[in-house]
Structure 1
Amino acid sequence: MSWDATDFAILRALGADATLSAGALGRDLGLSQPATWRRIKRLQDEGVLAGRRVDLDAEALGFGVTVFLGVKLATKGRVSLEDFERAVTAIPEVQTVQHVLGLYDYRLRVVARDLSDFERVLRRRIMTLPGVGDVEANVLLSEERLAGPL
């Protein structure tokens, strides 16, 4: 797996705008559409380009509260990590599930319409999951840098 400056230019361009077509990208980079498409395909096959996505504005969609939850499992021996992960990923308000080292076993990013909606999600959905022990919530006040290209 060796990448050249053109491959990195393709990754930068798609990182900035994932909707770019191979034709438009090729025009910007001085490549033909088929050559650009082959490079994109190779980057996908090598696992470097893992997919394309659209970022939605949660607040514009009515989800005004974002909370990061640290979740410590109480019964790791009796409940498998896979059981917890399967159950927590089925909750639509849970946007990310990260298995981490440290004080907590998992870090969750949860969106809700407001704090009372978050409380409902926490009490009725998250706290009832298999193996959940300690939970710590941190409410997001502002986000200065959004996830983006490396």
Structure 2
Amino acid sequence: MIALDDTDRAILRALSADAGLGAGELGRRLGLSQPAAWRRVKRLEDAGVLAGRRLVLDLPALGFGVTVFLGVKLAIKGRISFEDFERAARAIPEVQVVQHVLGRFDYRLKVVARDIADFERVLRRRIMTLPGAGQIEANVMLSEERRPGPLG
């Protein structure tokens, strides 16, 4: 584990808000030179604190107006491997996240669709035919608030 100082935390907060910031802009915002900002970011990357930068897509702007979280309980755990279920779930383009969880369900899936009719098609033709899929519970997302995370 790497020791983080206030400047490292400020860098992480700034990159969490805008992963596309370059070292020059980051340095200007934090009162660092461009090379100093670059060295600090590189140090955080090398230490594994920064594991990558992601592009956040505006799903409604792309025509995906419905997000549904599914709880999936496998019907027969001995006959089907978790790996087979995960591989098949990841192959469905509408499935954005596959999480193996502890609790009432074995998996939690984040599914996006154009509308409810499109989600029903994905559910019936793809999700319900996943290997080992048993009980499925759907929760339609009504709104989402993005939280800044533990460094915010």
For Structure 1 versus Structure 2, the TM-score category normalised by the shorter chain is: over 0.9
Q: CA deviation at 1:45?
A: 1.8
Amino acid at match of 1:77: G
Q: Which moved more, 1:120-129 or 1:29-38?
A: 29-38
TM-score by length of 2: 0.92
Which consecutive residues of structure 2, in runs of 5 or more, have no partner in the other structure? none
- Which string of whole-angstrom CA distances, capped at 9 and with x for unpartnered residues, describes residues 86-131 of structure 1? 1111111111111111110011111101111111111111111111
Residue equivalent to 1:134: 135
Q: Secondary structure at the match of 2:11?
A: helix
Deviation of the 1:55 alpha carbon: 1.2
The letter for the 1-side match of 2:146 is L
SS in 2 for 1:23: helix
Question: What is the number of residues matched between the two proteins?
Answer: 149
Partner of residue 6, structure 1: 7
Query: Hey, what does 2:30 align to over in structure 1?
Result: 29
SS of 2:62's partner is: coil
Tell me how far apart the structure 2 counterparts of residues 37 and 77 of structure 1 sit (CA, whole Å). 50
Q: Which amino acid in 1 is paired with 2:20?
A: T
Any runs of at least 4 consecutive aligned residues in structure 1 with deviations exceeding 6 A, and if so which?
A: none
The answer for the alignment partner of 1:87 in structure 2 is 88
What one-letter code is carried by the residue in structure 1 that aligns with 2:137?
Answer: E
Q: Percent of aligned pairs with the same residue?
A: 74
Give the letter for the 1:146 counterpart: R
Give the TM-score taking structure 1 as reference length: 0.93
Residue 148 of structure 1 deviates from its aligned partner by 4.0
Question: SS at 1:84's partner residue?
Answer: helix
Any residues of structure 2 matched to 1:60-75 within 5 Å, and which?
A: 60-75=61-76
Q: In 2 relative to 1, CA 12–94 (structure 1 residues): closer, same or farther, beyond 3 Å?
A: same
- RMSD (CA atoms): 1.3
Unpaired segments ≥5 residues, structure 1 = none
Report the alpha carbon displacement of residue 149 of structure 1 after superposing the two structures with TM.
3.6
* Secondary structure of the corresponding residue to residue 104 of structure 1: coil
**Given the superposition, is the C-alpha separation of residues 18 and 115 from structure 1 closer, same or farther in structure 2, using an over 3 Å criterion?**
same
TM-superposed CA distance for 1:80, in Å, is 1.3
Q: Distance in 1 between matches of 2:147 and 2:108?
A: 16
**1:52 maps onto 2:53 in alignment:** yes
